[in-house]
C-alpha cells in the first residue's frame, strides 16, 4: 500500500518537452550562449552542466527582464537541480524556480510554460518541506495546472493532466484528493504519449492504491520496456529504475 502524503512532487522534468516561442533568430544560426545552455541542459545528469546552463539563462534574464524563454528555462533547470542536489540546497533551488516561473507567467500569461514550472516547483517544495509548505501551495499548484490545461491540454505530452492526476492521487481526500479522478487524468495524459514513463509510473502507483495490482504490474512493465525519449532520457532512466524496483515488490 502506498502511503499518501499531503501534497505531490508534482512532476519531474521528464514530463515535458520544450515549446518555447521561436526566437528572433529562428532559421539562422543560434547565438552561442543559447546553444551552449541547451547543450548543457541536455547533459543535466552532470549537475555542474545543469548549473552552468542555469547561469547562462539567468544572465540572459538579467540583461533582459522580458526574456520569457530564459525565465521559464531557469525555472525548469532549478526544478531538476532541486531534485538532485544535497538536501540542504533543495529549498533554495525550488524557491528560485518559483520566482522565475512567476516572472514568466506574468510576461506571457497565455503561454503554459511559466504556469507549469511554477506548479512543478511549488509541488516539490510542498512535499519536501512539511505541512506548512503544503498548506501554502496546495491550492496554487492545482490552480496553475488548471490554467495550463485550459491553455493547451496537449502541452508537453499532456503534462497538465499528468500532474493533476498526481495531485489527486497524493492529496488526501479530506483536502480534495480523489483516486478515481487521478486515474482519469493520468489515462487522459497517456493519450498524448502512451510511452511516457512518468505517466505510466504514476498510474501504476494509483492502481496499487486502489488494489488493482495486476494492472499496476502491467503498467510497470510498460515503463521498463518503453523506449528512451532522446530529449528526456535522464528522467526516463530514473523512472525505469523506480519501476523495476516497485515491480519486484509486487507479488504475482
pLDDT at 22 over 50: no
Sole residue written with cell 531538476:
80
pLDDT at 56 over 50: yes
The pTM (predicted TM-score) of the whole model is 0.85
Mean pLDDT to the nearest integer, 64-68? 97
pLDDT at 6 over 70: no
- Measured CA to CA, the distance from residue 244 to residue 52 in angstroms comes to 32
Q: What is residue 230's DSSP assignment? A: G
What is the structure's pLDDT at 21? 33
What is the structure's pLDDT at 40? 96
Share of the chain above pLDDT 70, in %: 83
* 103-138 pLDDT per residue, tens: 999 999 999 999 999 999 998 887 776 655 566 788
Is 118:105 a contact under the CB 8 Å cutoff? yes
What is the structure's pLDDT at 236? 97
Structural domains of the chain sorted by starting position, each given as residue range(s) with its CATH number in brackets: 1-13+31-176 (1.25.40.10), 193-252 (1.20.58)
Three cell numbers, residue 175: 483536502
* 159-172 pLDDT per residue, tens: 999 999 999 998 88
- Measured CA to CA, the distance from residue 4 to residue 1 in angstroms comes to 9
- Measured CA to CA, the distance from residue 224 to residue 240 in angstroms comes to 5
Mean pLDDT to the nearest integer, 74-99? 96
Write down the mean pLDDT value for the chain. Answer: 87
Amino acid at each position: 500500500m502506498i502511503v499518501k502524503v499531503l501534497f505531490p512532487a508534482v512532476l519531474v522534468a521528464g514530463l515535458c518537452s520544450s515549446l518555447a516561442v521561436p526566437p528572433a533568430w529562428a532559421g539562422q544560426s543560434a547565438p552561442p550562449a543559447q546553444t551552449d545552455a541547451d547543450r548543457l541542459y541536455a547533459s543535466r545528469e552532470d549537475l555542474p552542466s545543469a548549473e552552468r546552463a542555469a547561469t547562462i539563462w539567468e544572465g540572459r534574464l538579467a540583461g533582459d527582464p522580458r526574456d520569457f524563454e530564459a525565465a521559464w528555462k531557469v525555472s525548469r533547470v532549478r526544478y531538476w537541480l532541486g531534485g538532485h542536489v544535497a538536501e540542504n540546497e533543495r529549498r533554495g533551488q525550488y524557491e528560485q524556480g518559483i520566482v522565475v516561473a512567476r516572472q514568466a507567467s506574468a510576461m506571457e500569461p497565455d503561454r503554459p510554460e511559466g504556469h507549469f514550472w511554477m506548479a512543478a516547483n511549488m509541488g516539490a517544495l510542498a512535499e519536501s518541506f512539511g505541512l506548512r509548505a503544503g498548506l501554502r501551495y496546495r491550492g496554487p499548484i492545482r490552480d496553475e495546472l488548471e490554467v495550463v490545461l485550459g491553455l493547451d491540454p496537449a502541452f508537453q505530452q499532456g503534462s497538465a493532466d499528468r500532474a493533476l492526476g498526481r495531485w489527486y492521487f497524493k492529496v488526501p481526500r479530506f483536502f480534495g484528493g480523489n483516486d478515481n479522478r487521478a486515474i482519469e487524468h493520468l489515462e487522459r495524459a497517456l493519450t498524448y504519449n502512451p510511452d511516457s514513463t512518468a505517466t505510466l509510473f504514476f498510474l501504476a502507483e494509483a492502481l496499487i492504491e486502489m488494489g488493482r495490482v495486476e494492472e499496476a504490474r502491467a503498467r510497470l512493465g510498460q515503463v521498463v520496456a518503453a523506449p528512451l525519449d532522446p530529449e528526456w532520457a535522464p528522467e526516463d532512466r530514473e523512472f525505469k529504475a523506480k519501476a523495476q524496483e516497485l515491480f519486484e515488490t509486487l507479488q504475482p
